[in-house]
Amino acid sequence: PKEIFLKDYKQPDYFFDNVYLKFTLGEEKTIVSSKIVISPRLEGGSSPLVLDGADLKLISLHVNGKELKNDDFRVDSRHLTLTSPPSEKFTIEIITEIYTQANTSLEGLYKSSGNFCTQCEAQCFRKITFYQDRPDIMAKYTCRIEADKSLYPVLLSNGNLVEQGDLEGGKHYVIWEDPHVKPCYLFALVAGQLESRDDTFVTRSGRKVALRIWTPAQDLPKTAHAMYSLKAAMKWDEDVRSLLFVFGLEYDLDLFNIVAVPDFNLGAMENKSLNIFNSKFVLASPETATDADYAAILGAIGHEYAHNWTGNRVTCRDWFQLSLKEGLTVFRDQEFSSDMGSRTVKRISDVSKLRIYQFPQDAGPMAHPVRPHSYIKGAEVVRMYKTLLGTSGFRKGMDLYFKRHDGQAVTCEDFFAAMRDANGADFSNFLLWYSQAGTPRLKVTSTYNAEAKTYSLKFSQEVPATPGQPVKEPMFIPVALGLLGSTGNDIPINSAYHDGKLEIITSNGQPGHTMILRVTKKEEEFVFNDIPERPVPSILRGYSAPVRMDSDLTDADLYFLLANDCDEFNRWEAGQVLVRKLMLSLVSDFQQNKPLVLNQKFLHGVKSILGDSSLDKEFIAKAITLPGEAEIMDMMEVADPDAVHSVRSFIWKQLATELKQEFINTVKSNRSSEPYEFDHQNLARRALKNIALAYLGTLEDEAITELALHEYRAATNLTEQFAALVALDQIPGKTRDDVLADFYDKWQHNFLVVNKWFALQAMSDVPGNVENVRKLLNHPAFDMRNPNKVYSLIGGFCGSPVNFHSKDGSGYKFLGEMVVQLDKINPQVASRMVSAFSRWKRYDETRQSLAKAQLEMILAANGLSENVFEIASKSLA
Ligand code: DPP
Ligand code: ZN
């Protein structure tokens, strides 16, 4: 396949005005008839019209009502080309057949548990009919669906239902009309035996919107939280209260549908007024979903709903602009979740994700800029606009963006220009965030001059080379900074000498006396005057830019920040810097066969946080959680999974041993017999209790096993029950086996819960666990065709550093085999799995050659998909 480049973008030669689709859904095949009103862009122009298509059988083709002859068009496996279409507005009518039953890729129109559904993003509408499958083709759609009435009583598409009725032979039909123009990737169709939970939402201006969440009847009781989340998201997005950071965006139709399907490649899809969700992000009850699931549902529904404006009303010109909608919408859902829960804890989780997923990718063969397709880093870029412009400046930019571009398909530069123009802002080289790959490294050194009472911070930055980008320019890095005096409070300052000039530095409503420094050069210095004592700097408050920072802060400084910083994110971060340093030094001890000894100061730090009743319990839980193994490996010259795993387990167990009584007390004092509530107070309580139990689970101690068993049996919700299971899972033996069997027995009919059971076993660090995982492939509850199951079992296994990276190569061999098998079923899922190999060069030579052999084996497989080929070959390059 030919690689496509951003610079090659060309406007389409033909615009589509109206699209009339007719689906005749059948068991053997589905017939799709598509009638499109087309306008040539240039008057009198008659370049060929090239339509995309994949796996389609062309039945007939008419232009302006006349059937086309063979000389007038060409059709091959990827395109239908009209060699010389009319030079004025014309109508084309295409009839195709598609074979939905054979579609295991879960792209285009497919079947999930007997129901029809669609997934068209990114370029999958072409699996439904021939079309200009690109987002800058925006048209109005009318969709007629015909199907058997008893098998498919519910027939849904985008927009408003305008007509329905019965047909001969037990069939019925519906007609949906979407008044808004949209690109084809937002088209959706659902047909099946579904029932809905109904509610209404009245928008700020009085529009009464019917809300429906569709599932098979038996799952309806599990949609209450999703409905709550949807109403909260609608309210949040249209809100105008000045204290909250909100957007003032109202919903624009009278109906909003969500459908939950069990087989879905991704999390969810924002199709206009007919969102389709992976059931994992809709279904929840206290007994079958954890707090993390509840939060993920809130976030996912918030995300897809937010797309109605950022993505649907204003969409991407081409797929290089994905971040235009995804970066912005991830940012918006992060803000929504922050307002619904703890802002600090949400920020901590999001930054951890960035460190675990994005930074390693930035440093590997798959490194790419925010454009074309980085979601999480794209959200960080949007966040930087807000940091620089403040809440009201950012809002002005958003308003201008919608004023200029509503109903259009635009670019990241258009978004940038709206932010800039609405504020008259100088953003210098900010656009580089979209085009330069790699994680910038920011070095900070400080000097205090007691005589002159000046304090200086010197910044230097470097962006590492990435594939195709050997040389980099300095980036625009907003650094949120506070200077703490010895009392622990911020020293009130609002100006600094920057390159010899006095600059006033605004705080944009950040906590304390936070200043926003604009660091834009390879090296630069900021000097603060009238500083009475050597301050402790709190740098990058709230993680104001997605960079890796090294500073000359001492351990004493870090402990001071941990105890005093008014920016809670940086309090957590100070603890993380300390523990990362500690872990890396223990890793080096381990590699040199030195005995491992836990730093007592660290132990006391953990103890004092655990006992600090002034802190939010959810924050405590985050603060005493060690960074993940992937995060530590990412900081090493040569990643050593065994050493990192041993060190992390050592610290974990040491803390459990030394703080056993404190952890036991934490478990006991955080029990509750009240019914489950998903509110901050309760989920914070459960988070703290569960982390304490997780620590205790490492101890081979009968009393602890009893305690964990008690928690397992007494639990009234999955959050606590599963945490007890995780604790018990750590020690191999009969208790572990019994309780795993009991759990399966209890939940075997709920596939979402069974997936957790798969994942837990897949991630186990029990030596030789690959054999157990292989056995589970044959478990009656497992199914290679269901992405969630694959992600739980095979994906879960790849997340276990010791077993996946086992030096005998058994883990790599397993994944290699799985990728080849999966690719034949579902290339998207296979390509997600093969990504686990992409960082193979980070490991030692033995592991490198084992992983390389698997990548070569995969590339040699017959009929490999483009998706897997791209990742495997780029990884090897
Ligand atoms: N556009 C989809 C979403 O935002 C892709 N996962 O969730
Ligand atoms: Zn999205």
pLDDT for 245 beyond 70: no
pLDDT tens digit sequence for 804-862: 999 999 999 999 999 999 999 999 999 999 999 999 999 999 999 999 999 999 999 99
| CATH superfamily of domain region 441-552 | Aminopeptidase N, middle-beta domain (2.60.40.1840)
DSSP state of 224: H
Kindly state the average pLDDT of the residues 595-623: 96
pLDDT tens digit sequence for 212-230: 999 999 999 999 999 999 9
CATH 1.10.390.10 fits 315-435, yes or no: yes
Tell how far the Cα of 315 is from the centroid of ligand 2, in angstroms: 11
Return the residue matching tokens 């897997």.
Answer: 868
Tell how far the Cα of 326 is from the centroid of ligand 1, in angstroms: 7
pLDDT for 372 beyond 80: no
Is residue 304 annotated as part of the catalytic site, yes or no?
A: yes
pLDDT tens digit sequence for 540-552: 999 999 999 999 9
CA 326 to ligand 1: nearest atom: 4
CATH number, span 749-877: 1.25.50.10
Catalytic residue, from 304, 335, 380, 631: name it: 304
Give the residue, by CA position, lying nearest to ligand 1 atom 5: 269
The token pair that represents 457 in the structure block: 């911070």
Q: Strand 268-269's sheet: what is its strand order?
A: 195-202, 208-215, 255-261, 274-278, 268-269
Please determine, for the modelled complex, whether the ipTM score is greater than 0.95: yes
Q: Alpha helix locations (H) across 406-453?
A: 412-423, 432-435
Tell how far the Cα of 265 is from the centroid of ligand 1, in angstroms: 10
Kindly state the average pLDDT of the residues 560-579: 96
| CATH superfamily of domain region 6-193 | tricorn interacting facor f3 domain (2.60.40.1730)
Tell how far the Cα of 663 is from the centroid of ligand 2, in angstroms: 39
Reported as a pLDDT band with limits 50, 70 and 90, residue 65 is very high
pLDDT tens digit sequence for 157-173: 999 999 999 999 999 99
pLDDT for 518 beyond 80: yes
The token pair that represents 344 in the structure block: 């600090």
Give the residue, by CA position, lying nearest to ligand 1 atom 3: 269
Closest ligand relative to 319 C-alpha: 1
**The pLDDT value given to residue 244:** 52
Kindly state the average pLDDT of the residues 54-70: 95
Distance CA 823, CA 831 (A): 8
Distance CA 669, CA 173 (A): 59
CA contacts within 13 A on the Cβ side of 394: 21
Of 184, 187, 326, the one to substitute when testing ligand 1's pocket (max ligand atoms within 8 A of C-beta) is 326
Kindly state the average pLDDT of the residues 717-741: 96
Across 20-43, b (16+ Cβ under 10 Å) vs e yields: bbbbbbeeebbbbbbbbbbebeee
Distance CA 81, CA 117 (A): 28
**The pLDDT value given to residue 208:** 98
CA 269 to ligand 1: nearest atom: 2
Distant-in-sequence, close-in-space partners of 119: CB < 8 Å, separation ≥ 6:
106, 107, 108, 110, 264, 265, 266, 269, 276
CA 329 to ligand 1: nearest atom: 4
Of 269, 319, 328, the one to substitute when testing ligand 1's pocket (max ligand atoms within 8 A of C-beta) is 269
Closest ligand relative to 327 C-alpha: 2
Please, what's the largest Cα pairwise distance for the chain? 95
Kindly state the average pLDDT of the residues 271-282: 98
Q: Domain ranges in the chain?
A: 6-193, 315-435, 441-552, 749-877
Kindly state the average pLDDT of the residues 107-123: 96
Tell how far the Cα of 123 is from the centroid of ligand 2, in angstroms: 15
More confident position, 512 or 526: 526
pLDDT for 624 beyond 80: yes
CA contacts within 13 A on the Cβ side of 220: 12
**The pLDDT value given to residue 368:** 83
Return the residue matching tokens 């398909």.
Answer: 409
Q: Is there a common fold for 6-193 and 749-877?
A: no
Closest ligand relative to 323 C-alpha: 2
pLDDT for 374 beyond 90: no
| 117-121, 238-242, 281-285: the lowest-pLDDT one | 238-242
> What's the whole-model pTM score?
0.97
Distance CA 593, CA 723 (A): 34
Residues with CB under 6 A from ligand 1: 121, 266-270, 303-304, 326
The answer to whether 126 and 159 have CB atoms below 8 angstroms apart is no
**The pLDDT value given to residue 81:** 97
pLDDT tens digit sequence for 175-185: 999 999 999 99
